[in-house]
Chains A and B, each alone.
Chain A
């Protein structure tokens, strides 16, 4: 079992990677909590939804679903479509999360965009337990989100004008992770396939419906160009 020293080392190594998410999730989580409060829900709703769903974009949509009439099948299908991208994260993490024991269940449960991106790309210091590092990244990120959502639900309306634009912190995070990946690669075929597919599908299908077509397009292109990509070593 892990001793206290290992826990502390992993926590201290993980925390700096989550600082941008601390800012982003507190801000977005609070916006979400305030949205729920403005629609007459108790703070328990955003708090419990942040704990159990833990998927920002779906929670915002669920806030609207809860205001409408009861439509279980529609709700389930809409949720599957919004969350489908996690299938890609799972396929990419099959190796990294292998053999992580009981922690694996929480690592997968809490695998949001941000935790996946950090756990996939972070260069974990050699003297730090990798499983614990990934566990703390996931746990810290979810704590920020739950805290933000709960506080937002409690304070209700609050002037956020001075914080306008803070949500850009998430864009900046993904730009940096994208760039780090780009600098590590010899060839950029797969990154370019992703860029091409998402921009094309965004233009064709619009901002609400482009994720699923993008995923299909990415898998299609990766399959068609499997040979050249593998041959050119376009992978890490």
Chain B
């Protein structure tokens, strides 16, 4: 690739990203409220999105080969348990991550 081709390639990545982020705001702008159906989606989507993002983070975990997703499972249980116990975001995340690092570096 020439420098110009590289700039176009990166530019297209920027354009695609900006489009997907701005589109809903461009379509439903102004003082008119968005259609009822879109308002419904806006309320109903987030919980579904958070599920999707958790699965997205775990998409490359292979449950049929060593280590069978066991470190991920243990660490997620630790995050949930810590969070239910103390309800401190940073503690839950740090605790689960340190445990996961120990598991993949030392145990598995």
Give chain A's interface residue range (CB within 8 Å of chain B). Answer: 35 or more
* Contact between B10 and A52, CB atoms less than 8 A apart: yes
Contact flags A1-33 to B (C-beta < 8 A → 1, else 0): 000000000000000110110010000000000
* Contact between B40 and A166, CB atoms less than 8 A apart: no
Whether A66 touches B1, Cβ cut-off 8 Å, given contacts A53-B13, A83-B20, A218-B52, is: yes
* Other-chain contact of B48, A76, A191, A226, A236 (Cβ < 8 Å): A191
- With an 8 A cutoff between CB atoms, is A88 at the interface? yes
* Contact between A171 and B25, CB atoms less than 8 A apart: no
* Contact between B93 and A53, CB atoms less than 8 A apart: no
How near does chain B come to A109, taking the closest CB pair, in angstroms?
A: 7
* Other-chain contact of A202, B48, B55, B89 (Cβ < 8 Å): B55
* Other-chain contact of B20, A19, A86, A179 (Cβ < 8 Å): A86
Q: Nearest CB to that of A214 among chain B residues? A: B52
* Other-chain contact of B45, A59, A174, A222 (Cβ < 8 Å): A222
Within 8 A of B (CB), among A195-223: 195, 197-199, 202, 207, 210-211, 214-215, 218-219, 222
Give CA–CA (A17, B90) in the complex, Å: 8
- With an 8 A cutoff between CB atoms, is B65 at the interface? no
Whether A54 touches B17, Cβ cut-off 8 Å, given contacts A90-B22, A219-B41, is: yes
Give CA–CA (A11, B77) in the complex, Å: 32
* Contact between A88 and B5, CB atoms less than 8 A apart: no
Whether A86 touches B48, Cβ cut-off 8 Å, given contacts A166-B101, A172-B96, is: no
Give CA–CA (A206, B50) in the complex, Å: 19
Whether A195 touches B42, Cβ cut-off 8 Å, given contacts A172-B79, A176-B93, is: no
Whether A70 touches B1, Cβ cut-off 8 Å, given contacts A171-B76, A191-B47, is: yes
* Contact between A194 and B48, CB atoms less than 8 A apart: yes
Main secondary structure of the interface of A (DSSP, over half): helix
Q: Chain A residues with Cβ under 8 A from B10's Cβ?
A: 48-49, 52-53, 62, 66
Give CA–CA (A163, B76) in the complex, Å: 19
12 sample A-B contacts, Cβ–Cβ < 8 Å, listed by A number: A23-B97, A52-B10, A52-B14, A68-B1, A70-B1, A79-B17, A87-B24, A165-B105, A175-B79, A185-B47, A195-B54, A198-B51
- The interface of chain A, by Cβ under 8 A from chain B, is 16-17, 19-20, 23, 48-49, 52-55, 58-59, 62, 65-66, 68-70, 72, 75-76, 79-80, 82-95, 97, 104, 108-109, 111, 113, 117, 120-121, 162-166, 168-182, 185, 188, 190-195, 197-199, 202, 207, 210-211, 214-215, 218-219, 222, 226, 229-230, 234-236
- The interface of chain B, by Cβ under 8 A from chain A, is 1-2, 5-6, 8-10, 12-25, 28, 34, 37-60, 71-72, 75-76, 79-80, 83-84, 89-90, 92-94, 96-97, 100-101, 103-105
